[in-house]
C-alpha cells in the first residue's frame, strides 16, 4: 500500500502529528501539546513548512538537529520562553560562521517531533523528513547520528532565561550527554539543545527516514478510526506495524526525578483477554521494559512500548501516568537502524541497566503500512 510522503506541514497536520509522535515517543520526548499549540498560532493563518525527503538533500546541505533536553515532568510544569532552540541555533551559526539550511528532529517521539518545526518557522527553513531515533530515547549518545559516527559537537544549549552555552569539542555523544545533563539540571531541569550541524551526506547515511510522515499518518489513522467508531488502538497497531501487548488498569505508579531524568515503575492489572494477569513497566523518561507477573519480558528497548488510552488510543506520557487509567500497551518493532548489533550496545536493555534482559525483536516491520517511507541501513 503506497501512502504519499509529506511535502509540506500545515495547520491541519498538527493534531495528527501530536498523536502519532506521542505514540512513537513511548512515554517521553516531551509533551506534544505545548509545542502543538505554539506552532498552531504560527500556522493557523495559512502558513506551511516545506518538508524535504532525506533522499533529496544535497551533499553540502547543512542540517541542524534540535530538541528539548531534560525531564518530561519539568517540561509540563514550566512553560518555555519559545525561542530557546532558535537562540541555540544562532549561537552555533555565529560560532561556526556557517548558516544552517535545514532543520531535523533529534527524535520523532513526543514534543521533540515539533521542535524543529518551531525553529524552521522562526528561521524560515525547511525541515527534513526524518530523525535520529525513530522514537524517543533519554540520552544523546542514543541517536543514530552519534551511533554511526557523526561528531557530536559543536552543540549549544539555551534556557528560558536567555543563557546560552556552546560546547566546542566533546569527544563522544556519551560525554556530551554527561556535560549537557549536568548543565540542564542547573538550568532548572529543562533546556533546548541544537547540534550537531550535519551535512546532507551525513543525514542520508545516519537518519531514520520518513518519520515525520510516519507520525502524521499514524495520527491520521487514529483520528479516522475515532470518527468511524472503529477501534483506534487496532488502527494504531496496524498502521505502525505494531501489535497489542496487553490491556489493563494502572494500579500503582512510582515516579521520581533523578539526575535530570524522570525514572519510575508502573504496575498494571490485566483487563479483557488479559484479566487475571499482572504486568509492570520500568521507564526512564521513556518506557523501557514490559514484564508479566512471572518476570518474563514481553517487550524491551529498542522496540517501542507505547501506552495509550484503551478507548481512544490517545498517547499517555510517563509524566501523566496515574492510578486507575485504563490503557492499552502497543509494541512496535524498532527501526532497523537502532536494532543493529552496533546500536544495541547503546540502546539495548543492558545500556539501561538490564543486563539480564535479552532483547527479542518483535515480529513485524517498523512503519507497517508506511514501511516504504523508512530507509533501511
Helices (H), the chain: 14-24, 32-43, 72-77, 84-96, 115-123, 144-147, 173-186, 200-206, 211-227, 232-240, 341-347
Tens of pLDDT, residue by residue over 25-42, are 999 888 888 889 889 988
DSSP string of 138-154, one letter each residue: SSGGGSHHHHTT----S
Class (C level, CATH) for 231-373: mainly beta
The whole-angstrom distance between residue 127's C-alpha and the CA centroid of its chain comes to 16
DSSP string of 8-39, one letter each residue: EEEGGGHHHHHHHHHHHTTT-S--HHHHHHHH
Tell me how far apart the alpha carbons of residues 100 and 64 are, in angstroms, rounded to a whole number: 6
Q: Where are the domains of the chain?
A: 8-209, 231-373
What residues have CB less than 8 Å from 295, skipping those under 6 apart?
A: none
Q: Which H helix or E strand runs over 290?
A: strand 286-292
Class (C level, CATH) for 8-209: alpha beta
**DSSP classification of residue 134:** S
Tell me how far apart the alpha carbons of residues 179 and 74 are, in angstroms, rounded to a whole number: 19
Name residues of the chain where pLDDT drops below 70: 1-3, 71-80, 259-260, 369-377
pLDDT of residue 250: 98
Tell me how far apart the alpha carbons of residues 209 and 203 are, in angstroms, rounded to a whole number: 9
Tell me how far apart the alpha carbons of residues 74 and 160 are, in angstroms, rounded to a whole number: 12
Tell me how far apart the alpha carbons of residues 129 and 237 are, in angstroms, rounded to a whole number: 22
Give the residue from 162, 131, 128 showing the smallest Cα distance to 144. Answer: 131
Do the domains spanning 8-209 and 231-373 agree at the CATH topology level? no
Unique residue bearing C-alpha cell 501506552: 307
Tell me how far apart the alpha carbons of residues 24 and 206 are, in angstroms, rounded to a whole number: 19
Unique residue bearing C-alpha cell 497497531: 237
Tens of pLDDT, residue by residue over 51-87, are 999 999 999 999 999 998 876 666 666 666 779 999 9
The crossing angle, in degrees rounded to 10, of helices 211-227 and 14-24 is: 110
The whole-angstrom distance between residue 63's C-alpha and the CA centroid of its chain comes to 18
pLDDT of residue 24: 98
Tell me how far apart the alpha carbons of residues 361 and 363 are, in angstroms, rounded to a whole number: 6
- For residue 306, list its beta bridge partners: 330
pLDDT of residue 376: 40
Counted residue by residue, the chain has a size of 377
Amino acid at each position: 500500500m503506497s501512502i504519499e510522503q509529506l511535502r509540506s506541514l500545515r495547520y491541519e497536520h498538527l493534531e495528527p502529528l501530536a498523536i502519532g509522535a506521542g505514540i512513537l515517543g513511548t512515554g517521553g520526548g516531551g509533551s506534544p501539546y505545548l509545542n502543538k499549540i505554539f506552532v498552531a498560532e504560527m500556522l493557523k493563518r495559512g502558513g506551511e513548512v516545506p518538508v524535504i525527503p532525506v533522499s533529496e538533500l544535497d551533499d553540502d546541505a547543512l542540517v541542524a538537529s534540535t530538541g528539548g533536553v531534560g525531564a518530561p515532568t519539568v517540561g509540563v510544569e514550566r512553560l518555555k520562553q519559545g525561542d530557546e532552540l532558535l537562540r541555540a541555533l544562532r549561537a552555533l551559526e555565529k560560532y561556526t560562521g556557517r548558516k544552517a539550511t535545514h532543520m531535523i528532529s533529534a527524535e520523532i517521539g513526543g514534543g521533540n517531533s515539533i521542535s524543529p518545526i518551531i525553529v524552521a518557522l522562526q528561521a524560515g527553513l525547511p525541515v527534513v523528513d526524518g530523525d535520529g531515533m525513530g522514537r524517543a530515547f533519554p540520552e544523546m549518545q542514543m541517536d543514530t547520528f552519534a551511533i554511526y559516527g557523526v561528531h557530536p559537537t559543536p552543540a549549544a544549549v539555551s534556557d528560558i532565561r536567555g543563557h546560552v552555552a556552546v560546547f566546542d569539542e566533546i569527544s563522544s555523544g556519551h560525554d556530551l550527554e554527561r556535560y549537557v545533563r549536568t548543565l540542564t539540571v542547573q538550568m532548572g531541569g529543562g533546556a533546548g539543545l541544537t547540534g550537531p550541524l550535519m551535512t546532507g551526506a551525513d543525514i542520508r547515511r545516519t537518519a531514520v527516514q520518513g518519520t515525520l510522515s510516519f507520525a502524521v499518518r499514524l495520527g491520521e489513522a487514529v483520528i479516522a478510526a475515532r470518527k468511524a467508531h472503529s477501534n483506534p488502538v487496532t488502527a494504531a497497531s496496524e498502521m505502525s506495524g505494531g501489535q497489542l501487548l496487553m490491556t489493563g488498569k494502572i494500579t500503582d505508579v512510582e515516579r521520581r526525578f533523578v539526575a535530570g531524568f524522570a525514572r519510575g515503575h508502573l504496575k498494571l492489572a490485566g483487563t479483557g483477554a488479559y484479566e487475571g494477569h499482572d504486568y509492570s513497566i520500568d521507564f526512564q523518561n521513556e518506557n523501557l521494559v514490559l514484564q508479566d507477573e512471572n518476570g518474563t519480558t514481553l517487550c524491551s528497548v529498542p522496540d517501542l512500548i507505547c501506552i495509550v488510552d484503551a478507548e481512544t488510543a490517545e498517547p499517555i506520557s510517563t509524566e501523566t501516568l496515574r492510578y486507575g487509567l485504563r490503557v492499552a500497551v502497543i509494541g512496535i518493532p524498532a527501526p532497523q537502524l537502532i536494532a543493529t548489533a552496533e546500536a544495541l550496545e547503546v540502546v539495548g536493555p543492558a545500556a539501561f541497566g538490564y543486563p539480564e534482559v535479552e532483547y527479542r525483536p518483535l515480529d513485524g516491520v517498523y512503519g507497517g503500512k508506511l514501511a516504504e517511507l523508512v530507509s533501511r541501513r
